[in-house]
Amino acid sequence: MVFYCDISPVTNFLNVNHAKAANEGKPLVVLIAPQEKDRSKAQNRLYWMWLNQWAKRQGKDKDYEHLFFKKNFLAKIYDCDDVGQYKKTFKAVRGLKDSKHPLYQDVTSGLCELMSTTDASTVQLTEYLNDIHAFCNKNGCYLETPDDLK
């Protein structure tokens, strides 16, 4: 899955600011670096679109499928990448499972509800979306991607 942006706004920005800097006799300094931010609006839109497609196919609610995917895919990404306090929490929950604690299932369900995709970086959310896409395709559901996100 590849996300890209239209180059037109970038060139327009450069043209406007270059002219301004030239008129002021100042250099225009442009920094090109990977964007370090949380998930993008495009990723969020795609995620909920895919959740709706999968939920419709399964005959379930999108919120139910949201919890299913977080438990099965997002938790593994957060555990591997050591995001926030998740790794410590997952370790404690595994301890409950190993000891066959009667509250294990309740704690797991609660944790899945509290776990948030907003804690994911754009790279992590891309991995999460790729995992969901592969899972759905493997299970016979082709997820549609809008042209502007291809």
Residue 126 has pLDDT above 60, yes or no: yes
Using alpha carbons, select from 80, 81, 74 the residue that is nearest to residue 132: 74
- Residue 89 domain flag: yes
Task: Give the tens place of pLDDT for each residue, 42-78.
Answer: 999 999 999 999 999 999 999 999 999 999 999 999 9
34 or 101: which carries more pLDDT confidence?
Answer: 101
- Residue 75 domain flag: yes
- Residue 49 domain flag: yes
- Residue 70 domain flag: yes
- Residue 83 domain flag: yes
Decide if 86 contacts 75 (C-beta within 8 A): yes
Decide if 24 contacts 111 (C-beta within 8 A): no
Decide if 136 contacts 54 (C-beta within 8 A): yes
Task: Give the tens place of pLDDT for each residue, 66-125.
Answer: 999 999 999 999 999 999 999 999 999 999 999 999 999 999 999 999 999 999 999 999
- Residue 22 domain flag: no
- Residue 23 domain flag: no
The parent domain of residue 141 ranges over 37-149
115, 121, 126, 127: CA torsion to nearest 10: -60
Domain count for the chain, please give it. 1
